[in-house]
Amino acid sequence: MAWAGSRIRPRRLRTTPALRALVRETRLDPAQLILPVFVAEDLGDDGEPRPITSMPGVVQHSMNSLVREARAVADAGLGGIMLFGVPVAKDAVGSGATDSDGVLNRALAAVRAEVGDATSVMADLCLDEFTDHGHCGVLSTDPSGRTVVDNDATLERYADMAVAQARAGAHVVGPSGMMDGQIGVIRDALDAAGHADVVVLAYSAKYASGFYGPFREAVASTLTGDRNTYQQDSGNLRESLREVALDVEQGADIVMVKPALPYLDVVRAVSESVDVPVCAYQVSGEYAQIEAAAANGWIDRDRVVLETLTSIRRAGASSILTYYALYAAQLLRA
């Protein structure tokens, strides 16, 4: 006996791959993906890439292997490549971050010379990889005698860092330190130095998360303590919307939510509250979880990679930083 409502059958639109593709509401494209990469100064120009044990398949690059990876990014049609530097020497103020001969600025120049405008060359704009204490800014002592990250002293370093990265060839700078006022200071510094076309991708809602663990290995972090006094509390949404609004007001061209999967509600709320593009970062711990489960045969890696990235897009992100960017592009082509 036929079901009484048989005229309405949503399953009709799922019967073939072509029909499913025809009505798909959220699409994933390589141009929406950005590959984060690490370049280690101690590997020199010609060293072999060094595997990151907590992130299987991800490496620290030498200068030349980084350039080859950038070419692969451009050839795959990815939206961008985000560079993180791993210097040999670190100090209290992160001097290497503004040194034109420092590992990150040299890498930016080399990558830009290789790919030109074929993909977006992006730079992480933060001091944590360059400071001996591992914090995202300059330290000082408050009136009670506590050691704290000095917000305004850090802004001066960020302004200089932004200009150095722009001079090196960055299309996009990504301030990730969560200092108050950082976007306005960076925008003003770039404009004053003649870099009005350099894009500011603001890490506007960056949470103090347990999902960053493998990244600490990737950048050889020397962090002591935690970053709870300047990164977002994981229980807060309205506060993140305020941070995002302030960054847009100060001139952010793109805003970011980080991490991605544990904060899809934040991605959705941010995307509904602003009229600039929204990015999300599928961070190291998210990647490591997928890799560990796939290695144990518990999940189908390919399906989960595309499913998670699609979920981030569906939540409202127009672009995604992900260590799977090149891999996902291969899956999409296939």
Task: Look up the CATH number of the domain holding residue 221.
Answer: 3.20.20.70
Q: Is 147 inside any structural domain?
A: yes
Catalytic site residue from 90, 135, 258, 313: 258
pLDDT beyond 80 at 225: no
What is the number of structural domains in the chain? 1
Q: Which domain holds residue 305?
A: 28-333
Which token pair is 291? 């890799």
Tell me whether residue 327 is in a domain. Answer: yes
Q: Is 90 a catalytic residue?
A: no
Confidence of residue 2 (pLDDT cuts 50, 70, 90): low
Q: Looking at the domain assignment, is residue 12 inside a domain?
A: no
Query: Which residue in the list 157, 206, 227, 313 is annotated as catalytic?
Result: 206
Cβ atoms 169, 193 nearer than 8 A: no
Average pLDDT, integer, range 278-289: 97
Residue 21 inside a domain? The answer is no
pLDDT (tens digit per residue) in 124-179: 999 999 999 988 889 999 899 888 889 999 999 999 999 999 999 999 999 999 99
Q: Is residue 13 part of a domain?
A: no
- Within a domain: 279: yes
Asked whether residue 15 is assigned to any structural domain, the reply reads: no
Judge whether 52 lies within some domain: yes
* Predicted TM-score (pTM) above 0.75: yes
